[in-house]
Structure 1
Amino acid sequence: MGNPQEHIVMLPYLAQGHIIPFLELARRIQERTNFTITLVNTPLNIQKLKSTQSNTSKINLVSLPFNSSDHNLPPNTETTEALSLPQVIGLFHASTSLESPFKDLVSDLTSKQGKPPLCIISDVFMGWANQVAKSLNIINVCFSTCGAYGSAAYTSVWQYLPHRSLKSDDEEFVLPGFPERCKIKRSHLHKFVRNADGTDQWSKFFQPQISLSLGSFGWLCNTVEEIEPMSLEVLKKYTKHPVWCIGPLLPPRMLDSSYNNEIFSKRGGKEPGLSPEKCLQWLDSHPENSVLYISFGSQNTISPAQMMELAKGIEESGKPFLWAIRPPIGFDLKAEFRDEWLPEKFEERMSASKRGLLVHKWAPQLDILCHKSTGAFLSHCGWNSTLESLSQGVPLIGWPLAAEQVYNSKMVEEEMGVGVELTKGLESCITKTEVKRVIEMVMENEGIRKKASEIGEMIRQGAREKDGKKGSSLQAMDHFVSTLLSSSTN
């Protein structure tokens, strides 16, 4: 299967939550096949990736010309991080300007190598890449960095906008294509989805890009088929093409049972607010499964009122906690944190008692989730975070805020039984009493912990080769590659 003359070109969307799994996928394919892999993105994203890659990396990183100022975006804006909602949709639309330079790049590669790439692997939000591939007679494969449930639900909602016919936000509707039990209220959708009617800027981007991606040769999905059987069947009905579950796209050591708290290298080029060593030392001082980890991801935060009630509820629960905390919504996420956003002397009190550790800005999440003291994860339920938590058998407390997170949270609670949703979005009026109740419900429930452990083992088995038998995700990767090779010779 190893032939360095074969070439795959990969195109992630302009967001860290997409670029990181694309890079991990590139590594997996390269290691298993020895193919030449070229990962393409905008200049600043490629520059950041190069700064985090070792000298031995065999992934080619190539930039396409892009100037955010040409699209009424702030200068040097090439990811969704720290953008307002109008700027986020502006970046989505701006990403379509990459189509022409991307086509030129692939054409140049074809000329230089004397044959076209084996395939293009493009992000679900870069559906226009399928048009480029067809115009150059190249196979295009769509890669969804979400799980099967999130991918299918996001596709379902944007393709049909089923919530438009409802009379109130409290009405439930069944997600088109899903079993009857998979119901959701319009109020549970993010505001930009809730208000979508097919003529708005969000619809004008997502509907055509997802439709184009559905026309791809096949889909790759960052999940393990055993943990999402129902969702996988729904997704296959939408794509009408093969779906290869090749996840979890996590560092291999995370899936190794012999892992012994060896520090993970920096992912995504972010500097931690506190060193991984100090975080691990603090975790070492607490009993197994006793610590609540709280993080809303690299691009999300909550309102000042929600932050205050969350802190009060955490304190009243009596559970040790490690909180990756950033300024609340409405403030500069990169600004200094203010004491007034938390109960009086909260951080001082938690530090003195060694009950709580607040990590400002970015926390070493992989190290934290792999530590035996971590007993639950209060999360926005972004898919990367969800998969990282589940791979370690850590139960989840859901607080979805954007994108497909509401579907991930729903799946975690209703389909898997490995967590409980605390609340949704930035508009909810959460109370300290409810925070305390849900923390206790998840962290003291042996049934949830047992189920999370079982899901974790399924994930690790899917990515494992033992006694000559490959897990389902390894088999899917082999089948994907062999399908590409056989299709290219036909």
Structure 2
Amino acid sequence: MANGREERNIVMFPFMAAGHLNPFMALARQLERKESYTVTIVSTPLNIQRLKSSLPSKTNIRLAEIPFQGTNYGLPPDIENTDTVSLELVIRLMEASENLESPFKSLLIDISKHNGCAPMCIISDMFLGWTVKVANELGIYHAVFIAGAGYSMAIYFSLSLNVHQFQTDDQEFLLPDFPEASKIQQSQLGNDLRLTDSNNAFWLFRKRQFSHCFCSDAILLNTMEGLGDIGVQYFKRKMGGKPVWMIGPACSSMKNDAYNQEERSEKLSSKTESCCEWLDLHPPASILSIGAFLSHCGWNSILESLSQGVPIIGWPLGGEQCFNSQMLGNEVGVCVEVARGYDSKTKHDEIARVIKMVLGKTEKGEEMRRKANQMKEKMEDALRGGGGFEGSSIKAINDFLGTATSIKKSSILK
């Protein structure tokens, strides 16, 4: 007979890329703090080994691997994630991930037999939208965790689902299903978003997976109230009344990450500890501090920067990164874009000018530092709980868990 924790088992399935694995692990850490829930993260063998090395010695997070034969899909041996691989191999990995349906379903059946009941819910990656079908077949509540920002990911989804409408030579164009967004500039589109070929394998993959996502029971966004809210409205429209929760930031650099102190004591030498203790005795930024990050504007990097109250010099490269940079500059006021794209030709004088502006005692630099510190405080408040206070993201997480627990689907798993 299943006990309470087994009945509340949350199965998480991230896509096989560091930018997806890391926020899933950060979210798993948040969920693990809930005393009555267990978390199982699913991935392929090599990624499971990687995740093991990131866990502290004391954890209740479980790791479950499913078989993966990348060579069957034209991948070299031992390639199971997107690290250091070409775009050609990335799309092969994406297409190979669609063939994990059968082993994933078998794993869920095995977990159910072992625990005596089906998992409470599945939280999957947006690139693994096919898991919605598996969840429906087995009668398990399903949520998609979109690890990016609401605003930029809304644009990313819109472009991916409507490429036929955006094949244009115009330098700027609007998104008809996301009218709140600013005009899209052709220069903001990386190689994976170029709108010249609607038969492109990347576009076809995204369209398949993103279409599945809106059939999920819920969407979880790695953002918080007050950061890119108009993007949240896009997802709410697409979900047709089904819940969209802002549960972020899921980021290991946040102060309230439960493992930070444990990891520190496990991994740092006594000499390093003494140094850190000495630094803690002095005022912030009085000894040595980072004044700004030069960032490609991936969402994980942005959250790390803002969680420390540090402004950003943006050099977005691809994907949704240009839209992150745009939002951070125009809406939040913590970013100045110095260049755009892999092939950008930027003069060193321009880079020097931006660095001096951001780091120096300029009006713009002072304003960016002030707003970055404000954003840091808002991020901490969103995840603060206890003492009668419940941050917006903590409330959203609790609402999600309460909904997933209360909705009883007709499951074939006993």
Fold shared per TM-score above 0.5: yes
**TM superposition score normalised by structure 2:** 0.87
Q: Map of 1:444-463 to 2, 5 A cutoff?
A: 444=360, 445-463=365-383
Q: Map of 1:370-449 to 2, 5 A cutoff?
A: 373-444=289-360, 445-449=365-369
Q: Map of 1:164-183 to 2, 5 A cutoff?
A: 164-168=166-170, 171-179=171-179, 182-183=182-183
Structure 2 partner of 1:104: 106
1:264 and 1:83 map into 2 onto residues whose CA distance is 34
1:187 and 1:387 map into 2 onto residues whose CA distance is 24
| Contact 2:220–2:244 (CA under 8 A) maintained in structure 1 | yes
Please point out which of 8, 11, 25 is paired with 2:10. Answer: 8
Q: Map of 1:297-316 to 2, 5 A cutoff?
A: none
Once structures 1 and 2 are overlaid, which stretch shifts more, 51-60 or 414-423? 51-60
CA deviation after TM superposition for structure 1 residue 177, in Å: 3.6
Amino acid corresponding to residue 126 of structure 2 in structure 1: V
Please point out which of 388, 394, 397 is paired with 1:474. Answer: 394
Structure 1 partner of 2:231: 231
Once structures 1 and 2 are overlaid, which stretch shifts more, 153-162 or 127-136? 153-162
CA deviation after TM superposition for structure 1 residue 280, in Å: 7.8
| Contact 1:118–1:139 (CA under 8 A) maintained in structure 2 | yes
**TM superposition score normalised by structure 1:** 0.74
| Contact 2:127–2:210 (CA under 8 A) maintained in structure 1 | yes
- Deviations 1:316-356 (CA, angstroms, capped at 9, x unpaired): xxxxxxxxxxxxxxxxxxxxxxxxxxxxxxxxxxxxxxxxx
2:386 and 2:313 map into 1 onto residues whose CA distance is 33
Amino acid corresponding to residue 51 of structure 2 in structure 1: L
The structure-2 alpha-carbon separation of the partners of 1:452 and 1:9, relative to structure 1 and needing over 3 Å to count, comes to same
1:77 and 1:376 map into 2 onto residues whose CA distance is 34
1:142 aligns with 2:58: no
CA deviation after TM superposition for structure 1 residue 217, in Å: 0.2
Q: Secondary structure at the match of 2:142?
A: strand
Structure 1 partner of 2:130: 128
Structure 2 partner of 1:486: 406
- Structure 2 unmatched ranges of 5 or more: none
1:196 and 1:32 map into 2 onto residues whose CA distance is 47
CA deviation after TM superposition for structure 1 residue 289, in Å: 5.7
The structure-2 alpha-carbon separation of the partners of 1:430 and 1:174, relative to structure 1 and needing over 3 Å to count, comes to same
Q: Secondary structure at the match of 1:32?
A: coil
Q: Map of 1:46-445 to 2, 5 A cutoff?
A: 46-161=48-163, 164-168=166-170, 171-179=171-179, 182-195=182-195, 197-240=197-240, 241-251=242-252, 254-255=255-256, 263=264, 373-444=289-360, 445=365
Q: Which has the higher contact order (CA 8 A, sep 6+)?
A: 2
Once structures 1 and 2 are overlaid, which stretch shifts more, 98-107 or 183-192? 183-192
Amino acid corresponding to residue 390 of structure 1 in structure 2: L
CA deviation after TM superposition for structure 1 residue 162, in Å: 6.6
Amino acid corresponding to residue 305 of structure 2 in structure 1: S
| Contact 1:380–1:405 (CA under 8 A) maintained in structure 2 | yes
CA deviation after TM superposition for structure 1 residue 3, in Å: 3.7
CA deviation after TM superposition for structure 1 residue 198, in Å: 2.5
CA deviation after TM superposition for structure 1 residue 145, in Å: 0.9
- Deviations 1:264-292 (CA, angstroms, capped at 9, x unpaired): 877xxxxxxxx9889989x99x99669xx
| Contact 2:43–2:66 (CA under 8 A) maintained in structure 1 | yes
Structure 2 partner of 1:356: none
CA deviation after TM superposition for structure 1 residue 454, in Å: 1.3
1:225 and 1:89 map into 2 onto residues whose CA distance is 33
| Contact 1:80–1:91 (CA under 8 A) maintained in structure 2 | yes
| Contact 2:188–2:323 (CA under 8 A) maintained in structure 1 | no
| Contact 1:163–1:186 (CA under 8 A) maintained in structure 2 | no
1:173 and 1:239 map into 2 onto residues whose CA distance is 25
CA deviation after TM superposition for structure 1 residue 488, in Å: 2.1
CA deviation after TM superposition for structure 1 residue 184, in Å: 1.9
The structure-2 alpha-carbon separation of the partners of 1:384 and 1:264, relative to structure 1 and needing over 3 Å to count, comes to farther
2:293 and 2:46 map into 1 onto residues whose CA distance is 32
Aligned length: 396
1:35 and 1:181 map into 2 onto residues whose CA distance is 38
The structure-2 alpha-carbon separation of the partners of 1:72 and 1:436, relative to structure 1 and needing over 3 Å to count, comes to same
Q: Secondary structure at the match of 1:227?
A: coil
- Structure 1 unmatched ranges of 5 or more: 267-274, 291-370
Q: Secondary structure at the match of 2:169?
A: coil
| Contact 2:7–2:119 (CA under 8 A) maintained in structure 1 | no
Q: Secondary structure at the match of 1:425?
A: coil
CA deviation after TM superposition for structure 1 residue 255, in Å: 4.5
The structure-2 alpha-carbon separation of the partners of 1:226 and 1:397, relative to structure 1 and needing over 3 Å to count, comes to same
| Contact 2:8–2:405 (CA under 8 A) maintained in structure 1 | no
Structure 2 partner of 1:312: none
2:28 and 2:133 map into 1 onto residues whose CA distance is 22
Amino acid corresponding to residue 207 of structure 2 in structure 1: Q
